[in-house]
Amino acid sequence: MDDLISSGVLGYVALYTRLIVGTILFVAGLAKAKAIPDFAVTIQEFRLLPIRFTKGAASLIVTAELLIGWMLLMGLFTQLAAIGGALLFAVFAIAIGVNLARHNIVRCNCFGPYFGR
């Protein structure tokens, strides 16, 4: 293990992982930003929030994805961005898990109007 650390392999793994996750979040945020009303409808279909909060939640999620993705790509506040990204992915996983348990199959709209399934 010390050889991996001293050779910098883990540093490269961390860098590539940060860039991949940052790209995924930023691209997902851009795609959803083009169709925020559609994403708000998707949030309604998950039936986890009152309808009056779905537009605000859609805007908040898109903003968070863009900001966290950009921070990861630029290498700014990476620990904070990593925690934020992990929280976003946890919220998404919980929302999908709750709906699977309810047998409520919802399109995730992860990349907005692209890759709808």
- Helix 9-33 / helix 78-101 crossing angle, nearest 10 deg: 60
The answer to whether 31 touches 113, Cβ cutoff 8 Å, is: yes
Q: For residue 9, what pLDDT is reported?
A: 80
- Rounded to whole angstroms, how far apart are CA atoms 83 and 62? 17
Percent of the chain with pLDDT over 70: 90
Report d(CA 50, CA 43) in Å as an integer: 10
Kindly tell me if the per-residue pLDDT of 116 is higher than 60. Answer: no
> Taking the CB of residue 108, how many other CB atoms lie within 10 A of it?
15
Q: Report how far residue 23's alpha carbon sits from residue 13's, in angstroms, rounded to the nearest whole number.
A: 15
pLDDT per position as a tens digit, 28-80: 999 999 999 999 999 999 999 999 999 999 999 999 999 999 999 999 999 99
Q: Which long-range contacts (CB under 8 A, 24 or more apart) does 49-52 make?
A: none
More confident: 104 or 87:
87
Determine the pLDDT at residue 31: 93
Domain ranges of the chain: 2-101
Determine the Cα–Cα distance for residues 31 and 101; give it in Å rounded to an integer.
28
pLDDT at position 4 is 55
